[in-house]
Amino acid sequence: MRWLNRTIAGAGITSALGDFCYETTTIVLPGFFAVLGVPAAALGMIEGVADAVASFTKMASGYIADRFGHRKTLVALGYGLTPVGQVLIALASGWPLVLAGRVVSWFGKGIRGPLRDAIVVQAVTPETRGRAFGFHRTLDSIGAVGA
């Protein structure tokens, strides 16, 4: 089994594009809040809530996938929620919709992360896991830096 297969390449490219998408939003949020006249403290609260949602979702997503299967479908759902959250933020005229957008995006992040890692593990041999995860993390970082 080759370590750089369709699953590993797809996970890496998808992570790069996803990271580019939500890191770009993270960069513009402070300026967006200034234009809306929203205090900076609201951004801290929004990010804290979004991070909490992602953390709690990560705990549940592994259990749900192990119990019901369909890991790839759940990962696709998780990645699909990122642009939905970005659209909500783009439509925002105040902080509540920005909060909703971040929560939706980070809920998706919580779903996809652990399940994507499980799929990567299953797609390669134990001897090549390091290369596969290294490739994935490299593309993920390239997406973040590209933003």
Q: Are 118 and 62 in contact (CB under 8 A)?
A: yes
Give the domain ranges of the chain.
Answer: 6-146
What is the architecture of the domain spanning 6-146? Up-down Bundle (1.20)
The per-residue pLDDT string of the chain (147 residues; one tens digit each, 9 = 90 and over) reads 689 999 999 999 999 999 998 899 889 999 999 998 999 899 999 999 999 999 999 999 989 888 888 899 999 999 999 999 999 999 999 999 999 999 999 999 999 999 999 999 999 999 999 999 999 999 999 999 998
Q: Which two tokens stand for residue 114?
A: 């652990």
CA distance 138 to 12: 8
B/e letters for 56-94, b = 16+ CB within 10 Å, e = fewer, are ebbeebbeebeeeeebeebbeebbebbbebbebbeebee
d(CA 103, CA 66): 24
